[in-house]
């Protein structure tokens, strides 16, 4: 991502007001999504999963192009995710709104910026359970922000579920 584009997106306002709510009760008025997968077990699996997640590997492994203002996700990092080609290319600009970093828990959430077909927030959290399993959970709230997204209706929701599954599988390998 060029410095000019990163600066413009870093200064842009988020397209929703409920910043940080993927960490708690999801707000009304949005579609909600929560999905999890077991990635493995033990400290090594946890460490590897966190490094991959923060390095955008879930997104790249899901088949998206990633253009980010930083190599690893951190507070304020701007990322533009894209899929497709030519006039069928869809770009989704986001900014990291919070990071989770604690014993047995790590991840981040990003919120949508102007130009994203949806508005809302998505969180990616990896947790190592007390008995060893490493769980990857994705939590989101969103609603259509563009005419194209509103027109897509159920197809748009199916695409979101499909990409979420691809994020989960990308780190499970």
DSSP 75-113: TT-EEEEEES-GGG-EEEEEEEEEEEEETTEEEEEEEE-
| 3-state percent breakdown (helix, strand, coil) of the chain, nearest 5 | 35, 40, 30
This prediction has a pTM of 0.92
CB atoms within 10 A of CB 36: 13
- Alpha-carbon distances, residue 70 vs 8, 77, 116, 160 (angstroms): 15, 6, 19, 25
Say if residues 138 and 49 touch (Cβ distance below 8 Å). Answer: no
**Measured between alpha carbons, how far is 40 from 147 in angstroms, rounded to an integer?**
41
Residues facing 112 on adjacent strands: 94
Position 2 scores a pLDDT of 65
Residue 44, domain extent:
3-172
How many domains does the structure of the chain reveal? 1
Give me the average pLDDT of each 10-residue run along the chain (173 residues).
71 92 95 94 94 95 92 94 79 94 95 93 94 93 87 80 90 80
Position 35 scores a pLDDT of 94
CATH number, position 152:
3.30.530.20
What is the token pair recorded at 44?
A: 């090594």
Task: Give pLDDT tens digits for 5-17.
Answer: 767 877 889 999 9
Position 34 scores a pLDDT of 95
**Measured between alpha carbons, how far is 159 from 173 in angstroms, rounded to an integer?**
21
**Measured between alpha carbons, how far is 93 from 146 in angstroms, rounded to an integer?**
13
CB atoms within 10 A of CB 151: 10
């Amino acid at each position: 991502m060029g410095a000019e584009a990163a600066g413009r997106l870093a200064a842009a306002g988020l397209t929703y007001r409920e910043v940080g709510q993927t960490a708690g009760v999801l707000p009304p008025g949005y579609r909600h999504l929560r999905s999890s997968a077991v990635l493995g077990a033990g400290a090594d699996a946890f460490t590897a999963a966190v490094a991959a997640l923060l390095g955008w590997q879930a997104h790249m492994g899901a088949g998206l192009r990633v253009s980010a203002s930083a190599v690893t996700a951190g507070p304020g990092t701007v990322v533009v995710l894209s899929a497709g080609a030519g006039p069928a290319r869809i770009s989704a600009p986001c900014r990291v709104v919070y990071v989770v970093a604690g014993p047995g828990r790590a991840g981040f959430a990003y919120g949508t910026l102007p130009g994203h077909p949806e508005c809302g927030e998505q969180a990616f959290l990896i947790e190592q359970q007390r008995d060893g399993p490493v769980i990857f959970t994705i939590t989101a709230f969103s609603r259509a922000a563009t005419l194209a997204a509103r027109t897509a209706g159920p197809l748009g929701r199916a695409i979101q579920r499909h990409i979420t599954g691809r994020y989960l599988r990308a780190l499970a390998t």
